[in-house]
Amino acid sequence: MPAGAAPGREPNPLYDLESRYERPPQLSLSPALFQKFQKLIYEETGIWLGSSKTALLCGRLFRRLRELEITSLKNYYERVSQPDQEEERARMIDAITTNETRFFREPRQFDFLVHTVFPRWQAEAIRGARPKRLRMWSAGCSSGEEPYTLAMLLASHFAAEEGWDVRLAATDISNRVLEKARRGIYPMAKQTELPQHLLHGFMLRGAVEHEGEMKVRVEIQRMIEFRRLNLNQEARLPEAPFDAIFCRNVLIYFDNASKQRVVANLERQLTLNGFLFVGHAENLTNMSNELRSLESTIYIKAGKEERR
């Protein structure tokens, strides 16, 4: 048995999706063809695949080619690049995008919300400086853990019974992860990511055929509108303007031109004194005249007097 193979299981070098092959052996990709995919993906999404991503592209598209019974990347490109193949291009983007997330990912940002931002909003509402209306956007929401985390926190601090109107928009370019997000069903193993009061207050334990799963309560699901959105294309969401936007670990996939375009669109959809949260590998220095850094990864859309 080859080293690394599971006992009692013969690995198939062509069809074993769990094998250690970085690139399925039957797929070849010339530099010229890679550049065509590179250009197509960039035009569709703003995501720039560096020349080192050849193996990744082959590996990620392998399953889709097998489903379509297409034997070469050349033939697949000829299909996916046709003007009437919008759905197939969406499937291609689904295949190549990485969707890694969890509840309360980067907890310091949620602590900042709870201990700094929420008290400010509550105080403003008490003195009549703002309506009891809150809108948030999870941009690049993946399989839903981020917007559900936000919704649970908001429901805990801004109760509808007290007159608060709270809604969230959650967007991603991948239809595959959006379908999972809308279901709101997760393995019970993820319960360790949630504080006990939120776990017991907003999650349901699965039984019988759903044993080992947990489901987000319907009142939390109803707070969120999930939709497909390409951040590289200008689009104003109907929930805008937003009091806070989470766009974390998304900008790292864009080149400078696309990043500038995305940040400008996010900024336009923030309220004055609204907050933008980004990932730890992302820096918005010199990208905006409106956004002021409060601390690493957290920005505020400042008024003119604050920008001087």
Question: Which residues are tagged catalytic?
Answer: 60, 172
- The count of residues in the chain is 308
DSSP label at 9? -
CA distance 83 to 42: 16
Residue identified by tokens 């690139």 is 23
Helix axis angle, 86-96 to 175-183, nearest 10°? 70
CB 173 within 8 A of CB 142: no
Cβ within 8 Å of residue 273, ≥6 positions away: 300, 301, 302, 303
Helix axis angle, 86-96 to 54-68, nearest 10°? 130
Cα dihedral across residues 227, 34, 279, 267: positive or negative: negative
